[in-house]
Amino acid sequence: MISYDDAVKLILSIAGPSQSVQKPLQEALGYALARNIYAALDQPPFHRSPLDGFAFRAADTAGAQPHSPTEFNVIGYIPAGTVFDTPLKQGEAVRIFTGAMLPLGADAVAAQEKVFYHDNSLFLERQYSVGENVARAGEDVLCGSLLLTAGSLLGPAELGLIASQGISDLPVYPRPRVAILTFGSELLEISDSLSVGKIYNSNRYLLEALVSRTGAIPDYRGKISDERDELAQAIVWACQEADFVLTTGGVSVGDHDLTPAAVAASGAEILFHRVAIKPGTPALAARFGNKIIFSLSGNPAAALVTFLQFVLPALQLARGIDWRQQVVKAVITKSFPRKKDQTRFLAANTIFSGGRFVSEPQSIQKSGVISSFRGVNSLIIVPPGLGELAADSMADVQLFPQIFDNLPFTGREQ
C-alpha cells in the first residue's frame, strides 16, 4: 500500500500537457495558453477621450474661476474613429466624443455636463491639469509587455485583452478526452427497470460531471461485463481513443474484483494499487504508453474523493494548467474519531467567518454515502498518526471552487 503523499507525487511526476493546437479566438474560451503572449501594440494606441466633452490645452485654463471663466473657441468636433488633423492653438477647443483620438496640442478633456457651451464658445470655470480626463496611449497595455503567461486559463477578460491586440488565433493545450468505463454485474442504466439485487449506474453520471467540471471531455464507453479478458480489451480500446481512462468498480481484493488483473492483462504498467487513504483505499493507477488509467472504487463517495485527489490534478496538468491544491487552515466544528494509519478525507462545508475559515464535517462519512456530498464545498484532511479530530481544533481543508460551486467560502463574511 502506497502513502497518500507518494501517490500524489507519482501522479504529478508523469502527468503533463500534450502537443498544443491553434484555436480561433472565438473558440478558445476555457482553454489554457500554450505559450506566453506579448503585446504587439499600445492599448489604447493613442491618447483618447474616455467621455463626451471638449478637448483643449490645459495650460489655457490657468487662472480660470467661476467669476472669471476662460473662454475657448470651439473649432470642430471629433466622433470616435475619426481624426482631427488641425493642431489646437491657444484658446481653441474641439467637441470630442467617447473613444475619439485627441487632436495634436490637446492634453485635457472637460465633461460636457460640467461646462457651459454656447454658439461655438466654451467657458471653463476652473483650472485643468495636463492629462485630466485623458486615456493615455499605453495606459492599459504597453507594446512589448507580457500580456498573458503560458498556462493562463482563457476567460472572457483574457479573450478581450487578446482581441484588443488584433490576435485572431492562439496556441492552446487541447482538452483531454477521458474514457469512462463502469464495471459491475449489479449495475443498471437509468432507463432500465429496477430489479431485486440491482442498482442504477450512478457513477457514470457522477464521473461524467466531474470530468466536465475539470474542463476535460467525458466519453462514456458503457458498462463492461465482469470477465477479465473483456475488461482488458475494453481498456486497450479506450486507451487507443482517449487520453485518460477512468474506471469504477471491481478494484478491491475480492474474488470478483477483476479490475487489477484486467489492467495488468491490457499491458499497462501498474503504478500503484491501494493507497493509505479513506475513503478510496482500493484506488489504482496505471500507465499505458503515454496514457494514464485510473481505477476507482465502485462506492460513489470513495470514487468522488479519489477523483479529487488523483484524477483532478492529472487532468489539470494535461490541460496545461499549473495546478496547485488550494488548502486553508480552518476551525473544525465537530469532533471525528478515526483510525491512525490512513489519511482521512471528510466531506465538509467551509465558510469564511469572523476573519477565519470554519469547516463543518458532514454527520455521515461512508464510502457508499454520496448524499453526504450535498451542499459541501471542501474536504477536511485528517493526517495519519492523529487520533480523534477534536472540535474547535485546526485542520487543513482542501477547497474545490472549480468542482463544488454551490456554496461560496473565500473572502466572504457569512
pLDDT in tens, 164-217: 999 999 999 999 999 999 876 666 576 767 777 676 677 888 999 999 999 999
Q: How far apart (Å, rounded) are the C-alpha atoms in residues 409 and 351?
A: 4
The three cell numbers of residue 389 are 479530530
Q: What is the pLDDT of residue 368?
A: 82
Q: How far apart (Å, rounded) are the C-alpha atoms in residues 148 and 36?
A: 6
Q: What is the CATH number of domain 326-399?
A: 2.40.340.10
Domain at 21-43+139-173: CATH architecture: Alpha-Beta Complex (3.90)
CB 159 within 8 A of CB 32: no
Three-class DSSP category at 252:
coil
Instruction: Give the CA distances from residue 116 to residues 72, 97, 123, 171, in Å, rounded to whole numbers and listed in that order.
Output: 11, 17, 5, 52
371-382 average pLDDT score:
90
Give domain limits for the chain: 4-18+175-318, 21-43+139-173, 53-124, 326-399
Cα dihedral 332, 337, 340, 346 sign = negative
Nearest Cα to Cα of residue 303 among 182, 154, 407: 182
Beta-carbon count within 10 A of 16 CB: 12
The three cell numbers of residue 290 are 503515454
The three cell numbers of residue 132 are 485630466
Bridge partners, 183 (sequence order):
224
* pLDDT, tens digit, 9 for 90 and up, residues 105-114: 999 999 999 9
DSSP H helical ranges for 180-296: 202-213, 228-241, 259-265
Q: How does residue 409 score in pLDDT terms, banded at 50, 70 and 90?
A: low
| Secondary structure element (H or E) that encloses residue 163, with its range | helix 156-163
Q: What is the CATH number of domain 53-124?
A: 2.170.190.11
Q: How far apart (Å, rounded) are the C-alpha atoms in residues 132 and 107?
A: 8
Domain at 4-18+175-318: CATH architecture: 3-Layer(aba) Sandwich (3.40)
